[in-house]
Amino acid sequence: MTNSYGWDAITKSYDLGDSKFILWFGSNDAEMHPITHAWMRKRKEVVKSTWVVIDPRMTPTAFAADLWVPVKPGTDMALAYGMIHHIIAQNLYDKEFVAKWVEGFDELRKFVNDKGYSPDWAAKITGIPADTIKKMAVKYATIKPAAIFTNAGI
């Protein structure tokens, strides 16, 4: 969440504003950051991005999204583990990026596999159908560039 919103001369992009897929993970940005959210909504139309809001409540941010996923309160991490498990199991992660920038990936893979944190497992906890979890994981892993907004809930 330290990415910029404005024009970046190095990447020649609007950084977060050029994301083609955004997961709003427990982030009610429309009410918590109305100025940046208004700008992001304008960029959404320009870029034709897809927004998915994961939040127990139908917030103004969820209202602006393409998909609202009403996760049970307190089960966000189970949802994330289910998505991570599916991305790894389907070999959808960016191997070049992982090799260059990620420490502990093998431990993460072992952790989600050993614990059985599959989308089916996550569905039982979160109340979100396993098929929805899989679709979100695939979209996040394959649509580039993608972003996750977090930590702006209550």
Distance of CA 13 to the CA centre of its chain: 20
Report the distance separating Cα 56 and Cα 144, nearest Å: 27
The tens place of each residue's pLDDT in the chain, 154 residues long, gives: 455 667 777 778 777 889 999 999 888 889 988 988 899 999 999 999 999 999 999 999 999 999 999 999 999 999 999 999 999 999 999 999 999 999 999 999 999 999 999 999 999 999 999 999 999 999 999 999 999 988 654 4
Supply the pTM of this predicted model. Answer: 0.90
Report the distance separating Cα 58 and Cα 49, nearest Å: 20
